[in-house]
A and B are shown apart, each in its own frame.
Chain A
Amino acid sequence: QKEVEQDPGPLSVPEGAIVSLNCTYSNSAFQYFMWYRQYSRKGPELLMYTYSSGNKEDGRFTAQVDKSSKYISLFIRDSQPSDSATYLCAMNPSLNFGNEKLTFGTGTRLTIIP
């Protein structure tokens, strides 16, 4: 079993819809959770990070963590065609990425249809 499981999609939704992207994990040591966005043929860029159970909001994006269920989600409201990308979840046992390697999900490919 992989430490981090993520539905690879592809996922297609109409413009304006709410998108839900999810990851589950098995390692209780993971305490810090990140979402990266990767456009085709580009490097990933950090969207959001969080470390406590509950919700964290940033504009149209909301990151949700449920440590008791080992489940994290990223919600995108009012989705736009420019949101079309692959979304990767990543997890870390500590705050210090320099000393601990990030564990990534496989990524979910999202397409927003105009």
Chain B
Amino acid sequence: DGGITQSPKYLFRKEGQNVTLSCEQNLNHDAMYWYRQDPGQGLRLIYYSQIVNDFQKGDIAEGYSVSREKKESFPLTVTSAQKNPTAFYLCASSSGGRQFNTEAFFGQGTRLTVV
């Protein structure tokens, strides 16, 4: 079945540590996205990538880093510079390009907690 897989589902991080969240898709989508969801804030865009080896900052990129070495994969690293990392992280993908495209497919999310 095609879809987006995020792992792990739950992640605990100690203060000062970097952690990497995995996102893999087998939909052959060009574009991939990372969102952060907090209560009362909705979804906020962290980073997005429209093509392999290229990515752009979203609205809240500080304290995060990404890579896009393969079309299928878009890992997100939450660095120690992110002051308030506890949140629900969602990865999404879409076909991108110039064709009609309104649907973003989301993964099931990773809940990150700083302990």
Interface residues of A (CB under 8 A from B): 4, 6, 8, 32, 34, 41-46, 49, 88, 92, 95-99, 101-102, 104-107
> Is B41 positioned at the interface, with any CB of A under 8 Å from its CB?
yes
Interface residues of B (CB under 8 A from A): 4, 6, 30-31, 33, 40-43, 45, 48, 50, 58, 90, 92, 94-104, 106-109, 111
Among all A-B residue pairs, the 9 with the closest Cβ atoms: A98-B96, A43-B106, A106-B42, A104-B43, A98-B31, A104-B42, A97-B94, A49-B102, A43-B108
B94 touches A43 (CB 8 A): no
- Given the complex of chains A and B, what is the CA–CA distance between A105 and B104 in angstroms? 15
The contact of A41 among B92, B95, B101, B111, by CB within 8 Å, is B111
- Given the complex of chains A and B, what is the CA–CA distance between A43 and B3 in angstroms? 12
A96 touches B101 (CB 8 A): yes
Closest B residue to A101 by CB, please name it: B45
- Given the complex of chains A and B, what is the CA–CA distance between A95 and B104 in angstroms? 12
- Given the complex of chains A and B, what is the CA–CA distance between A47 and B45 in angstroms? 20
